[in-house]
Each structure stands twice: as C-alpha cells, then as structure tokens.
Amino acid sequence: MELAIRRQLVPRLIGAVPRAGWVALAALGLVAFVILPALHLLAPAGSRLHVSAYVITVGGKIMCYAIVAVALDLIWGYGGILSLGHGLFFALGGYAFGMYLMRSIGREGVYQADLPDFMVFLDWKSLPWYWRGTDHAPWAFLLVVAVPALLALVFGLFAFRSRIRGVYFSIITQALTFAAMLFFFRNETGFGGNNGFTDFKRIMGFSVTAPSTRVVLFVLTAAMLAATLVATRYLVRSKFGRILTAIRDSESRVMFLGYDPLPYKLFAWTVSAVLCAVAGALYVPQVGIINPSEMSPGNSIEIAIWVAVGGRGTLVGAVVGAALVNLAKSWFTAAFPEYWLFFLGLLFILVTRFMPEGVVGLGRRLLGGRPA
Amino acid sequence: MRALSYLVLAALCARAAPAFALDEGVLSKLASEDSDDKIAAIRHLAAVADPEGLRVLRALSREELQVAGGRLVIADGDRVLDAATGREVRPAPEARDAITINNRVRRELGGALAALRLFDPDRGVRLAAAQELMRIASPATEVLLERALEKETDREIRTLLSLARAEVGLKAPDPAARLGAVRALGASGSPRVRSLLAPLLDERAEADATVRREARKSIDAIDARVARAELLGRVFSGLSLGSILLLAALGLAITYGVMGVINMAHGELLMVGAYATFAMQGVFERFLPQARGWYVVAAIPAAFVAAALVGVLMERTVIRFLYHRPLETLLATWGVSLVLIQAARMTFGAQNVDLANPSWMSGGIDLGASVVLPWNRVVIIGFSLGVLAVVWLLMNRTRLGMFVRAVTQNRAMASCVGVSTGLVDTAAFGLGAGIAGLGGVALSQIANVGPDMGQAYIVDSFMVVVLGGVGQLAGAVGAALGLGVVAKFLEGWAGAVIAKIAVLVFVIVFIQKRPQGLFAVRGRCIEG
C-alpha cells in the first residue's frame, strides 16, 4: 500500500505543476545551482562576470523570504487564514538553528568559555535544560521543525476549534508574536536578550564566511524554495486543497456538506508554520544574526504585503512579491531611506485598493489568460 | 556633614538668642578682613535663624554684600538695600566695596544656609530641608527640631519634623522617652522608620520590655499602613492604565462594531492627538504665555478635530472601497499607519517632543507610605470617564447614535428603512478617530510623545476590543479597566514583561472560551 502511494506520488507531483512551471523551475535551478555559484566562485574578483558575496547573500535572503511568502500564501490565499504572526515561526526556526550555530562557536568567543558569550556575560554557570543537545546538528534540525510545528499545532487547535477566524484570528496571531517578542527580549529567557545570536563561526565544521559555504547555503535555499513550490502546488491541487479553498469561500457550507474544517485548516496552518521555520533556519547562517525584532508585529505584517503584491492564491505570485518588495526595500533604504516607509505604506494601500490580484493577476489579465 | 554641624550649632545657640533685629556689631564682623571673625558672624546669624539674617547670608554667598562708608548694604540689581533693616538706601552710595569670601568661609556659609532653610518662609524649601533633616537626624539636632516645630504650622512638615524628633528620641537614655518616641513613630509609613524600629525588638538592644512590646505594635501598624497604601496605589495605577486603554479602545470598538473594520492605524490616531496637543502647547507659548497651563484644555477640541479629520479622510479614500474585504482593510490601514508615522517623523523629527505638564496637574494626593497618586493620572481617569459619558449619551440619546447602532446591528435593514449608511460610516469613523485623538491628549501627559508612540498601544487596545466584544461600550469599559488593573497587579508580582505576556496569553485563552467577548450579543446569524 505504502509502495503504491509512493509510486503514485512522483507522477502526481510532476502532474501538479504545469509545463510552464517546470520550465520556470528549471530555469531557476540553472541560475541558482550552476550559473551564480560558478560566477561567484570561479570568475576572478575584478571581472565583469564576477558575482559578489553581497549578491549571493541578498539572493539567499530573498529566497528565504520567498519561502515564507509561499507558506503564508498557502494559508491566506487558499485557506483564507491571514496570519500576522508568521514572523514568529520564522524566528523560532532561526533561533533553533541559531542555538546550534552558537554552540559551534565553541571556545572561540570573546570570553573563550564553553558557554555562549551572552551566558558568560549574565554570569550563568551552566547551560539551561533546553540548550541540551543543541551542539548536535540533527537535534537542531529536529528542533527547527518540531518546536514551531508543536506551537502551531497547539495554537491552531485552540483557535480553529473555537472557530476564531477572519480579523479576530489575525489580531490574535499578532498578539502571539508580540508576546513572544517580549519574551525573547528578556535576558533571563536564555536566548541572548535583545542582541540575540550573532558572531557565528562555523556550520557543520565549515567557516560561515567562506565563499563555498555561502554558495552551498544559497543552493540549499534555492532547492528548498523549489521543493516548497512543488509541494504546495501539489497540496493545493489535491482534494485537500480543494476543500481548503472551499473552507475559505464558505466555511459554513463546507460544514453543512459534512466536512469538519478543523483538520484541514490545522494541517495547512502547521505545514505553513514549518515551512517558515525551515526558511528561518536557512536565513540565520546566511545573514549571520537572529534577534527578537524578527518577531515584531511589523515584520510579520510585511510578509502579508509580499503576498498581496505578488497576488495571493497564486503560489508563484508570492515568490514574485517577496522578491519585488525586498529588492525595492534594498534600493530605497540605500537611496532614499526616509521615503521607504512612505513607499511601503502606499504599497499597502494601493495594492489592496487597486490590485487585489497582485502583479501576477494583473499580468494574467493583461495577457488575456483566464483568472486562476 | 557641614550642614549637620551647622544644625548642631544653630540648635545650641537657638535658646540663648532671642529674636532681634540684626545687630550692627555682628554685621560689621562680616566686613572684617579676618576669616575667623566672618565665620563667627555667620554662625551667629545662622543661630538666630530669622529671615533678615538669611537674606544677608544669601547676599554674602552671591557676593552682593557690600561695604559703603562703614555700613553694610546689599546690592539688589539697581537698588541698594540696607543690610540691617532691608530698606532701600537713597541716594545709593557711590563708593561700595564688595565683601570677598574665601573657600573656608564659603563652606561655612553653605552649611549655615542649609540649616536656615528650615525657617524659610517658602513651604517647599522648608519641606525639602525637613526631608533632608530626616536623613541626618541625630541627638544634636533635637533642639533645632524643637525650635522648628514651635514655628512650623504646615501639617506635612510638622509630621516630618516630629518623626525626625522621635527618631532622635529612640536613642534617649530614659525608657519613658524611648516609649514615647516608639509610639510616635508608629504613625509613620516609611520603610526607613521601620528599619529603625526593628532593632528595638531585640533584647540585647532594648532592655525595657514595654518599649519592645510597643515597638512590635508600631512595626505592625507601619506594615499594615504600607500594605494598604501599596494596594491602593496599585489599583490606582491599574485604573489609570485602564483609562488610557479605554480611550484607545472606545474608538476602536465603534469603528469595528459599525464597519467590521480593524483599523490598524488607530494607534497612529492617538499619535495625531498627542502631536496636536504638542502643537497647541506651541501656540500657547507663542501667543498666550500667561495662560500656558491651560493649553491641555484647548488641545482637547483641537486633537479631536485633527484626528477625526484624518479618520474621515481615511474612510473616504481607502476603507470605503474595501468593504467586505476585512483582511485587506487591515493591511491597507496598516499602510496608512506607516505613512502617518513617517509623516510625523518628517514634520516633528524622529525624537520625542517635550510636553510640559501644566502646573495644575503636577503634584498629587499623598497617601503616606511613599505612595502618591499623581494629579495628572487622577485627571486622566476623570477625563476618560467624561469621554465615556459623552460617547454613551451620543450613542444612546442622539439620532446619529441611533443610526450608528442600527447599522451595527443590521446594515441592510438599516439601509432599507432609509438610513444613509455611507454617511453613518463616515461619521462613525470620524467619531472613533476623534476619540482616539482625545486618548492622545491624555497620553501626552503621562507618556513620551514620538512618532512610534501609537505602535505600543495597538496590540493592547485590540485586546480590549477582543475581550470586551464587538461594538459593546460596556464590554470595552469592563475589559479596559480589568486588563489595566490585572496588568498592574501582575507587574508588581512578576515584572512588567511577564505581566504583559501573561495578559496576552490570558486573552488568547479567553477567546477560546468566549469567542464573542465578555458581553456577547446573542444572535441567530451565521457568517458566510
């Protein structure tokens, strides 16, 4: 039985994505797996073809954001659940993997102690219990997935069971991430207070700053993004996805038809949270820092605008939106730092007001294609 | 220490020297070349402790005391005053030499002035001096305290002085005197007095059993008083936090109730109100400096109008077009909030602006035991209750209020019977925004006013709305005050951050049980 499912899964996955999608994914793969790494590692630093470390880092960062955007699109675009707290899951994944990175510093910290620097600074004598085992990468990977999944599962169970939805749900997720941010800001929590984790040295024995390590992380992120797109596409095209969409459109009717919406919403919600956490874990070694401001309500709500700009309910739109908004942010904060907030604010207003289907929806309409 | 030795000296001389007009002989010593003579004269003047002497010593410390033809005069701006009598000397003598003082004399002078402050005509100065004395009370100051007590009429200062005297009394060799002192100290509410009394419980320190028993009683009385005052203070600060939350949540409850719209820019409307208050302060300083203290009152309508205008503009340009898309409204209003923050930052600067508390709002009601209810918070609680009353009347006794309630209950039906729902939406949104502006006025008196101030209140005020239920004034009131008081109690028990987290978690859990809030409206509708 299991074998049969496995045999069916591959063709189903292939069938889930249209041919144009596979072409696009192949192009992405070619660029991310071959061309950019080659140009970064092989082309000499002075040449015109050289891709700088900055580009690799920004590219990796944006792909992490894109995974988060796809995760949010899964629940918002298809489930009608707008989370304003997805930054929390992202940060939790980042913190879980950050613990491993902190332990990998070993005795090379400022105080040259066995404990991470911030613990020495707080005059702690031993690791708190929840840090146990974090020096082993597999345990850290497990934490990256398990902690956010558990939190999402418990929170989702409570929220969906009492049929909290719409703006109520959004507000409560915002409160959740806000509370978590305050919690992580405390020094006593044991996650470095408002400085968070930084000054990483090594990852699985390789230097985090080495070009080859960066390229590997970049390639891994690209692979994760591609896998996320294929998997979520498969998910939303399946029967599960159709019921999820039906719940979005009219939860009561779905209930009257005899379905219990709870497991569908809960599953989508938890998958979404785990995807965010994995993105966070990939993000931290590339950016080199994780701190509680990642959990600020503002950050989480920004994720929603990536999805809205790209076009919700179109998974590829989330990627496009995350890339567009973040490239614009990089450019604005360098060129006109004081106007970035104006731009972002107007983006929120204008996109929701005039472009409810986002860039992808607009493109489809201009090309005369049928709406998704 | 110098002040202390002076107090001792002043005390010792106090009885010997009856009050008299300033002695020319003493004054002339001040003009002496010899520092020892000067010091003796300063000591004498300090011991007499009358306002005339104080005036001369002050003049000396400012080097305004001058010699003119063998007579001491004080140069007071353009005028010249006779040092002995304080009357103006006319015509002003031409040749005057300022009396110079060296560092040794200056030190003596500083100590003398400190002790004399206990007899200053200004109540504030005396109060500060008495508090200072509380800290340095010793047997040597007893006489001075007695003397100050004889003259003192102010109740608060008298209390301080008699406490200080009782403290001295604790060290008296006579058990009866100690007993009296212990009893007198029982009236205090200060932890410091408690720590003074604590050693008396020990047999080795206190031989007399009666005194020990009284000391225990007095300590218990102090403990009870401190606990009561702290409880009261905590309830009060909870109420004042709650009243701010109430002002923030009241507007939100109206807009959410009427339109089902979550306005993420609500916190920024608070900010608009606070900046309107700041602008009003500027206007008063420029044009009405004599009525400066009343700028807060003038700011109330200004803030209401400013915030209401922003709200109406928002409703007409953005929110109106996003009906039936509540999630997107949430994002759009968040965008509005970002624009407002940046606009405030560029107009008023990224730094917090300074708002002066008007004098009639400073100070507070002293509950003893170092718990003071500040007037500004008392005023804010009253103000919120006033706003609440006006909103209640508006919603329940006016035509507009009736329309707003009708649209809240059933938009389609209200529209069918001829209510212009579009206008009601705009009016309700303007009203909600205006109330937020009023909240900004209140907030400007107790919190920092800066571009980011609104962000801190948005989550809290949503919690109030969520807890209180949609469009329910009673719910909002109960939830705001309840959350405020609970938060303050948790704060005292577990620290501010944990308290905040606990409240948020509580609201999240609460919603599980009662998704419609504290005061749910029963209905038979089902959404979607």
Are the CB atoms for B276 and B413 separated by under 8 Å?
no
pLDDT of residue A278: 96
**Amino acid type, A249:** D
Token pair of A340, please? 């970035």
Specify whether the CB–CB gap between B270 and B443 falls below 8 A. Answer: yes
d(CA B270, CA B456): 11
Please report the pLDDT score of residue B497 as a whole number: 79
Entry pTM: 0.76
Could you tell me the pLDDT band of residue A140, with boundaries at 50, 70 and 90? very high
Q: How far is CA B100 from CA A16, B67, B106, B290, B396, in A?
A: 98, 11, 10, 40, 76
Min mean pLDDT across A29-38, A82-91, A251-260, B492-501 is at B492-501
CB distance B342–A179 less than 8 Å? no
Distance between B528 CA and the closest CA of chain A, angstroms? 5
Task: Indicate yes or no: CB of A342 within 8 angstroms of CB of B338.
Answer: yes
Position A281 scores a pLDDT of 95
Q: What is the DSSP letter of B88?
A: B
pLDDT of residue B516: 64
**Interface touch A347/B335, C-beta < 8 Å:** yes
Show the CA angle centred on residue A230, arms to residues A227 and A236, nearest 5°.
Answer: 135
Dist CA B80 CA B92 (whole Å): 6
| Residues contacting B418, CB < 8 A, separation 6+ | none
CB distance from B331 to chain A under 8 Å? Answer: yes
Rounded to whole angstroms, how far apart are CA atoms B528 and B523?
15
Secondary structure of residue B215 in the 3-state scheme:
helix
Q: Which of A155, A164, A345 faces B335 most closely, judged by CB atoms?
A: A345
User: Which residues of chain A does B327 touch, with a Cβ-Cβ cutoff of 8 Å?
Assistant: 76, 80, 82, 166-167, 170
Q: What is the pLDDT of residue B16?
A: 42
Q: What is the pLDDT of residues A164-177, one digit of tens each?
A: 778 888 888 988 89
B528 in reach of chain A (CB within 8 A): yes
Domain ranges of chain B: 2-119, 145-227, 228-513
Within 8 A by CB and 6+ apart from A220, the residues are A282
Tell me how far apart the alpha carbons of residues A279 and B217 are, in angstroms, rounded to a whole number. Answer: 65
> What is the rounded CA–CA span in Å between residue B136 and residue B414?
74
Residue A179 has pLDDT above 80, yes or no: yes
With an 8 Å Cβ cutoff, are A349 and B330 in contact?
A: no
Interface test with B, best of A151, A161, A167, A250 (most B CBs within 10 A): A167
Identify residue B191 by its one-letter amino acid code: P
- Least confidently predicted of A110-119, A250-259, B459-468: B459-468
Q: What is the pLDDT of residue B309?
A: 96
* B528 vs A contacts (CB less than 8 Å): 250-253
Full DSSP string of A284-319: HHHH-EE-GGGGSHHHHHHHHHHHHHH-TT-HHHHH
Interface test with B, best of A352, A354, A355, A357 (most B CBs within 10 A): A352
pLDDT score for B528: 39
Q: Do A168 and B500 make contact, defined as CB atoms within 8 angstroms?
A: no
A341 chain-B contacts, CB cut-off 8 A? 338-339, 341-342, 345
pLDDT at residue A49 in the model = 75
CB pairs under 8 A between A and B: 131
Contact between chains at B497 and A186 (C-beta distance less than 8 A): yes
Residues 5-34 of B with CB under 8 A from A: none
Give the percent of chain A with pLDDT over 90: 44
pLDDT at A36 over 50: yes
Residues in B touching A349 (Cβ below 8 Å): 318, 332, 335-336, 339
- Taking only the tens of pLDDT, chain B with its 528 residues reads 455 555 555 544 444 444 445 677 777 777 777 778 887 787 777 766 677 777 787 788 777 788 877 777 887 777 787 777 777 777 777 777 777 778 778 777 776 776 677 777 777 777 777 776 666 565 556 666 777 777 777 777 777 777 777 777 777 777 777 777 777 777 766 666 777 777 777 777 776 777 778 878 888 888 887 788 778 888 888 888 888 888 888 888 888 777 777 788 888 999 999 999 999 998 988 888 887 778 888 899 999 999 999 999 999 998 888 877 888 888 899 999 999 999 999 888 888 888 887 777 777 777 666 667 788 888 889 999 999 999 989 888 999 888 988 888 888 888 899 888 889 989 999 999 999 999 999 988 888 888 888 887 777 777 787 777 665 677 778 888 888 888 888 887 777 778 878 887 887 777 777 666 655 555 545 543
pLDDT bin (cut points 50, 70, 90) of residue A32 is: confident
Asked if B500 and A349 come within 8 Å (Cβ–Cβ), the reply is: no
Is 70 exceeded by the pLDDT of residue A133?
A: yes
Residue in the block written with tokens 């604005």: A332
Decide if A204 contacts A136 (C-beta within 8 A).
Answer: no
Q: Cα distance from A124 to chain B (closest Cα, Å)?
A: 21
User: Cβ of B329 under 8 Å from any chain A Cβ?
Assistant: yes
Q: Which single residue is written with the structure tokens 């920092």?
A: B448
Give the number of other Cβ atoms within 10 Å of residue A99's Cβ: 27
**Who wins on pLDDT, A178 or A46?**
A178
| Mean pLDDT over each residue of chain A, to the nearest integer | 87
Contact list, A155 vs chain B (CB under 8 Å): 508
Looking at the complex, report in whole angstroms how far the Cα of residue A53 sits from the nearest Cα belonging to chain B. Answer: 32
Q: Residue A311 in contact with residue A317, Cβ under 8 Å? A: yes
| Alpha-carbon gap, residue B38 to B105, rounded angstroms | 7
State whether A348 and B462 contact (CB < 8 Å).
Answer: no
Neighbouring-strand partners of residue A290: A197
Residue of B260, B335, B501 lying closest to A346 (CB–CB): B335
Q: pLDDT confidence of A162, banded at 50, 70, 90? A: confident
Contact A348 B331 (CB under 8 A): yes
- Assign domain B228-513 one CATH number from 1.20.120, 1.10.10, 1.10.3470, 3.30.420: 1.10.3470
Q: Where are the domains of chain A?
A: 2-295
- Contacting residues of B for A342, CB less than 8 Å apart: 338-339, 342-343
Chain A residues with beta carbon closer than 8 angstroms to that of B331: 301, 304-305, 308, 348, 352
Architecture per CATH, B145-227: Alpha Horseshoe (1.25)
* Beta-carbon separation of A168 and B511 below 8 A: yes
Kind plus residue range of the DSSP H or E element containing A60:
helix A53-76
CB A360 within 8 A of CB A311: yes
- Owner of token pair 């989508």: A268
| Distance of residue A266 Cα from the nearest chain B Cα, in angstroms | 15
Residue A69, pLDDT above cutoff 80: yes
Interface of B with A in 341-380 (CB under 8 A): 341-343, 345-346
Query: Using an 8 Å Cβ cutoff, are A270 and A58 in contact?
Result: no
Which one-letter amino acid corresponds to residue A130? Y
Q: Are B118 and B150 in contact (CB under 8 A)?
A: no
Query: With bands split at pLDDT 50, 70 and 90, how would you rate the model's confidence at A355?
Result: confident
Whether residue B331 and residue A182 make contact (CB cut-off 8 A), yes or no, is no
Tokens 């913190």 found at:
A95
Q: Does B511 touch chain A (CB under 8 A)?
A: yes
Q: What does the pLDDT read at residue A27? A: 86
Categorize the per-residue pLDDT at A6 as very low, low, confident or very high, splitting at 50, 70 and 90.
low
Q: Which residues of A touch B498 (CB under 8 A)?
A: 186
**Phi, psi dihedral angles at A171 (to 5 degrees):** -65, -40
Residue B329 pLDDT: 87
- Kindly state whether B262 is in contact with chain A, defined as any CB-CB distance less than 8 angstroms: yes
Compute the nearest-CA separation of B327 from chain A (Å): 6
Question: CB B203: neighbour CB atoms within 10 A?
Answer: 10
Nearest by CB: B528 against A179, A250, A341: A250
Interface of B with A in 435-464 (CB under 8 A): 455, 458-459, 462-463
CA B1 – CA B207 distance, rounded (Å): 31
Disruptive mutation site among A162, A168, A250 for chain B (greatest number of B CBs within 10 Å): A168
Asked if the Cβ–Cβ distance from A175 to B459 is below 8 Å, we say yes
Confidence of residue A206 (pLDDT cuts 50, 70, 90): confident
Shortest CA distance from A303: residue in chain B = B331
For B90-136, give the DSSP string.
SSPPS--EEPP--HHHHHHHHHHHHHHGGG-SSHHHHHHHHHHHHHT
Q: Around A99, how many Cα atoms within 13 Å sit in the side-chain half-sphere?
A: 26
The pLDDT assigned to B15 comes to: 42
pLDDT at B33: 76
Q: Do B501 and A182 touch (CB under 8 A)?
A: yes
- pLDDT at res. B83: 76
Distance from CA of A131 to the nearest CA of B (A): 21
